[in-house]
Structure 1
Amino acid sequence: MMLKQAIHRLGTHGFIGALLAGAVITAQAQTGPLSVEDRGGSRGGARTVAAESTGGNDGVIMLMQQMQQYEEQLQDLQGQIERLRHEVDRLKAAERERYLDLDTRINALAESTAPASADDENATGDGEDGEGPADPQADRQAYNDAQRKLLDRDFEGAVPALEAYLEEYPNGRYRPQAHFWLGEAYSNLKSPQLTKAREQFSKVVEDYPDHSRAPTSLYKLASLQARGGSTVQARDTLKRLVKQYPDSSEAELAKAMLKQLGN
């Protein structure tokens, strides 16, 4: 009965179980059944049969121990695979963030040195009128001063500077950029304020959909939503990005993230 139970247990483990079960059957065949002469032998013969039977059981126990070792090794390998998969996903996400950080920093440098762009000319005021600032030079200087803190990675100082710019220049030409960078600053604080960051990125998308910062703002918004556990919202935002800005570089990043989120 013990042999049958062991074989049944080993047999449930696929190919390895089948090989080990075969070994058990062979071991059993070698130890029995006894011939008539063996059964009619002396007491010494009976002791020999008992010893052989015990040896067969020891073989089964050894095989069961080997099977347990195989199971433990398999579980360990599965754990290593999961850890590697998690590490690959983490590296992919970090690579995307580095790309976006480099892209935004390059654009920030360009914005701080170049003359007013078409985006700046078109995205004036709060989206409700086309009036520019009363003092264009002061407007640009205030924006550059706030942006310089971002280039220095001084997010703690950039937040109040950008907030002051948005308050003091309600018709400023750099309001879309200011909202975008304020979202960046909020999300990179020592104690990130992710809700406020999402609000700023959403402001760019909703109020300035034709601005060059809109696709990046959508991607940043989706990243923060996924980071906060709102996977469904993140997928919807990414799909909107792909549909609304199909030719943008962020659209390709959005497609990759959709695959990662299980689209």
Structure 2
Amino acid sequence: MKVVNSKRLFAGALFSSLVLCAHAQGTGPLAVEDRSLPRQQAPAASPSSTAGVSTTISQDGLMVLMQQQQQFEEQIQQLNGQIEELRHELQIMKDAERERYLDLDTRINTLAEQGKTEQPDEQAEGNVDPEADRAAYKAAKDNLVRRDFDAAAKAFEGYLNDFPNGQFRAHAHFWLGQVYSNQKTPQNDKAMAQFQAVVDDYPDHSKAPTSLYALATMQARDGKVSEAKINLHKLIKQYPDASEAGKAKSLLDQLGS
């Protein structure tokens, strides 16, 4: 009887072991954390919601890039416009510079062709040696004909200082103004002062209309447009038959008279 009971106990224990093993194989091994704490899992996002967020982010980024591109294109257009304006202004300056040099070169050639036939504008006043007067002026003029502008400037300055009542003062003022404005480093203020001296002190001189026009053009280049317009109108009124009167009308049109 005892033997039968022992067999029954052994069979029950064996059956219990088999049940536990089967349950362990179905659930798999547990980690230490799994055995100590209950596992908490976040709910998985649905595919549709994830796709919607990605699409919104992509559209916002694209809009920012498009706005930046538009801003860059506008800035490039502005820079291109400024470059074109600078090119235009530079070309105008080059043309004006070339015209000024050609005009001076023509005048110098004319002066050289006159040579000894050039006559004084008026008789010298006071105790002035006419020969010394003529020689000083000729020396300055010879430097100008050689295109030695620095030497010519000093010579004309010396002539005007040494011969305050000289016979060639109007010519000297005019040529000194031309020299000042055509030096490597132009002295525009001094040049305009010389042209102004011809206009004020020798209004009936042959160089007066040319001096007045030269003065007006220099004032316009320096941004003194109002003063330039006044002198241009003065030129047209006082010297209507001079060739510079036509130039004055054209310049007034450019300045928006």
Alignment partner of 1:153: what SS? coil
Q: Which residue of 2 aligns with 1:39?
A: none
CA drift at 1:144: 1.8
Aligned-partner Cα distance in 1 for 2:66–2:226: 49
Question: RMSD across aligned C-alpha pairs, in angstroms?
Answer: 3.3
Aligned pair count reads 213
Q: Alpha carbons of 1:243 and 1:102: their partners in 2 closer, same or farther (altered >3 Å)?
A: farther
Match of 1:220 among 207, 214, 219: 214
1:92-241 matched pairs, under 5 angstroms: 92-116=95-119, 120=120, 123-125=121-123, 135=130, 139-166=133-160, 172-189=166-183, 193-241=187-235
Larger Rg computed on CA atoms: 2
Give CA-to-partner distance per residue, 1:25-44, whole Å, 9 cap, x none.
xxxxxxxxxxxxxxxxx811
Alignment partner of 2:198: what SS? helix
Amino acid at match of 1:73: I
Identity level (%): 37
Q: Alpha carbons of 1:49 and 1:101: their partners in 2 closer, same or farther (altered >3 Å)?
A: same
Aligned-partner Cα distance in 1 for 2:141–2:152: 7
Structure 1 window deviating more from structure 2 (221-230 vs 150-159): it is 221-230
TM-score by length of 1: 0.65
- Is 1:51 the counterpart of 2:54? The answer is yes
CA drift at 1:180: 1.1
Equivalent pair of 1:182/1:197 in contact (CA under 8 Å): yes
Point out where structure 2 has 5 or more consecutive residues left out of the alignment.
1-44
Q: Which has the higher contact order (CA 8 A, sep 6+)?
A: 1
Q: Which residue of 1 aligns with 2:81?
A: 78
- Is 1:62 the counterpart of 2:65? The answer is yes
Point out where structure 1 has 5 or more consecutive residues left out of the alignment.
1-41
Q: Which residue of 2 aligns with 1:10?
A: none
Equivalent pair of 1:124/1:171 in contact (CA under 8 Å): no
CA drift at 1:148: 0.4
